[in-house]
Amino acid sequence: MLDFENTKKLLDEAENKLFSNIDILINNAGIADTNNNTLIEKLNEEQLDKIMNINFKVTFFLSQATVKSMLQRQFWRVVNISSIAAFIWLAGHANYSSSKEALLGVTKTIAV
């Protein structure tokens, strides 16, 4: 289980102690469940959560935590690295493709 509160603390520390401001956030973390090439009818909650937490939720909460201070300075860039899997779906990768499509959705929402 990921600890999103510690993620926010890490960002605060980076911004306050290491850098004066965070102006650019690049979300490039991602995992695929290649060892458990699982069709949707066999996918369990633990497998889904593992992929969604890393590929989507971390990006969402890092963006949420940094965009607030970026908007106050009126300068910001958020770069989210997704995957072709958001457009081309593969059997056995419902969790991975879904996480990358969710990432595209939040990227568009942040842009607006």
Phi then psi for residue 55, to 5 deg, are -80, -25
In the residue annotation, 96 being an active-site residue is answered as yes
Do the domain assignments include residue 99?
Answer: yes
Is 47 inside a domain boundary?
yes
β-sheet bridge partners, residue 78: 25
pLDDT digits (tens, 9 = 90+) for 41-94: 888 898 889 899 989 998 888 888 888 778 888 877 889 998 888 888 777 888
| Per-residue pLDDT, 1 | 56
Residue 20 domain flag? no
pTM (predicted TM-score): 0.79
Domain with 66, as residue range(s), is 42-112
d(CA 22, CA 75): 10
Domain count within the chain = 1
In angstroms, the CA 107 to CA 3 distance is: 22
Please report whether residue 26 resides in a domain. no
Mean pLDDT score of the chain, rounded to an integer?
83
* C-alpha–C-alpha distance, residues 38 and 47, integer Å: 9
The catalytic residue among 57, 96, 100, 106 is: 96
- Distance (Å, whole) CA 76 – CA 69: 9
| 17 lies in some domain | no
Residue 59 maps to a domain? yes
